[in-house]
Amino acid sequence: MVSVEQVREGLKQVIDPELGIDIVSLGLVYDIQLREGGKVYVRMTLTSPGCPAAPMIVGNSRLALEDLGFKDPEIDIEVVFDPPWSPEKASEEVRLLFEQFR
C-alpha cells in the first residue's frame, strides 16, 4: 500500500512549467488523503486562479499518481483557491530562492 509520504514524493515529480519548481516544494499541495477502497485525494492550488499551466499541472499530477499505481477512478484531485497561494507556503529552500530575485 502506498503511504501519504510516497504520494508526496511522487507529486514532487510535477514541475510548475513557469517557475521550474516542483508543486510540493512550492506549497501548492495542501492535503493528501488515502481513502477507503484504495482511493487517493489531493487538495491543491495553483499560483494564481488564471494560471495558464493549470491543465498541465493537474494532468501531470494525475500521471504521477497513476505511476504510483492509482487508476483514474481512484484519483480525486481538487483544485482550490481558498486559501490563496502565496510564496510563504513554499519550502524554506524555495523561499530563499525567491528572495534572491527580489
What is the SS3 assignment for 38-101?
A: CEEEEEECCCCCCCCCHHHHHHHHHHHHHHCCCCHHHEEEEECCCCCCCHHHCCHHHHHHHHHC
Mean pLDDT of 90-99: 92
Q: Rounded to two decimals, what is the model's pTM?
A: 0.93
Confidence of residue 52 (pLDDT cuts 50, 70, 90): very high
The per-residue pLDDT of the chain, averaged, comes to 95
Please determine, looking at this structure, whether the domain spanning 4-100 carries the CATH number 3.55.40.10.
Answer: no
